[in-house]
Amino acid sequence: MDVNVAGKVKTFVESVSKLFAEIESWIALTNIKGIRQEIEISEETSGSYKVNKFILEDETGKKIVEFLPIGTFIIGGNGRIDLNGTIDKAIIVNLKTGGPSMTTTNTVGGRTEVQTTSFYKGIDQEGWYWIEDARRGKANFFSKDQFVELLQEVSDYELS
């Protein structure tokens, strides 16, 4: 595996692990149990590598949601995790500060104009984001409040 590719995979695996540790701290004083299970992802660019998925269960052992890493080589981001709930699904992506953008350069009559357009608003720090509405470009940083909201949305589970 190419050194740059290996570095990107390593960064992705570390960011997934860090996110899951943060979620564990958010659920520490609840009845929710977090379970990490190793999976293997195969991407064309990197080949196969191992990373954990993260399952949240209620006090009866019923699955609330599964955080399933999809891969690091995605267009416009540094990785993707699917939140598979009991009634719906959400996607979070790891983005650099500023998020993905597109730059266009137009030259007319010897005058060059460069314009950069961001795909999403509000990407003011690197980290995991839920793209609430891609059409409107609305991205939300994956904070504890966002976590609670998404649990409600994908599994109709209220964190108390």
Number of C-beta neighbours around residue 121 at 10 A: 11
Q: Which residue has the tokens 């010897």?
A: 110
Q: What phi, psi does 145 have (nearest 5°)?
A: -60, -40
The separation between the first and the last C-alpha atoms of the chain, rounded to the nearest angstrom, is: 45
Where does the pLDDT of residue 116 fall: very low under 50, low under 70, confident under 90, or very high at 90 and above? confident
pLDDT at 134: 59
57-70 residue pLDDT tens = 999 999 999 999 99
Q: What residues does 105 pair with on adjacent strands?
A: 114
pLDDT (mean) for 104-126: 86
pLDDT digit string, tens, across residues 138-148 = 789 999 999 99
For the ranges 4-8, 85-89, 118-122, the lowest mean pLDDT is seen at: 118-122
Cα separations in angstroms, 118 against 42, 73, 134: 30, 19, 12
CATH among 2.60.40, 3.30.300, 3.40.50, 3.30.920 for 3-155: 3.30.920
Residues 20-34 have pLDDT tens digits of: 999 999 999 999 999
Tell me the DSSP string of 28-57. Answer: TTSS-EEEEEEEEEEETTTEEEEEEEEEEE
